[in-house]
């Protein structure tokens, strides 16, 4: 006895495979966005922290001659920029240190490698933070 063509053959066999592959890819992309998005947020937080540290260190670089002559606290721009850049470099970041009178402004940029997004050719994420310090002098 012969069976009719196709009788007993499971035509649904393997039909879940394309759906499972697509689901796995979407799930991997979502995990990648969560992990690498967390890295981006961490980079922003670190950049802000380092910018604040650099601004405080830079603002401590006073013009000694002016202070000693009773002229008040004035930031030495060259020393402040060098000190701020040293803090940024020690943290492995880049940035800008600006001195404007009694204010020191620092912007720091933190670059971190990606874990999952490198699969789609996004190899790094960047975070930028800034801080400002203003000298305050107290009276008698």
Assigned domain for 44 exists: yes
Assigned domain for 6 exists: no
Give me the mean pLDDT over the 2-17 stretch: 61
Assigned domain for 107 exists: yes
Give me the mean pLDDT over the 70-96 stretch: 88
Mean pLDDT lowest among 41-55, 62-76, 82-96: 62-76
| Torsion sign, CA atoms 131, 75, 99, 139 | positive
- Phi and psi (nearest 5°) for 139? -90, 175
Whether the predicted pLDDT of 96 surpasses 80: yes
Q: How confident is the model over 43-56, as pLDDT tens digits?
A: 999 999 999 999 99
Assigned domain for 5 exists: no
CA distances from 137 to 76, 91, 102 (A): 16, 30, 10
Assigned domain for 120 exists: yes
Assigned domain for 35 exists: yes
Which tokens go with 13?
Answer: 């066999």
Assigned domain for 14 exists: no
Report how far residue 135's alpha carbon sits from residue 118's, in angstroms, rounded to the nearest whole number: 44
Assigned domain for 129 exists: yes
Average pLDDT of the residues of the chain: 84
Count of domains forming the chain:
1
Domain hosting 102: range is 20-134
């Amino acid at each position: 006895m012969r069976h009719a063509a196709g009788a007993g053959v499971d035509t649904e066999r393997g039909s879940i495979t394309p759906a499972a592959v697509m689901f796995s890819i979407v799930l991997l992309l979502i995990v990648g966005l969560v992990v690498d998005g967390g890295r981006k947020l961490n980079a922003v937080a670190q950049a802000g922290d380092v910018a604040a540290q650099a601004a405080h260190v830079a603002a401590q670089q006073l013009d000694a001659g002016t202070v000693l002559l009773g002229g008040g606290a004035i930031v030495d721009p060259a020393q402040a920029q060098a000190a701020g850049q040293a803090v940024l470099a020690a943290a492995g970041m880049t940035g800008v240190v600006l001195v404007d009178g009694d204010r020191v402004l620092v912007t720091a940029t933190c670059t971190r490698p990606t874990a999952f997004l490198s699969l789609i050719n996004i190899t790094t994420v960047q975070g930028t933070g800034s801080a400002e310090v203003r000298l305050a002098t107290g009276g008698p």
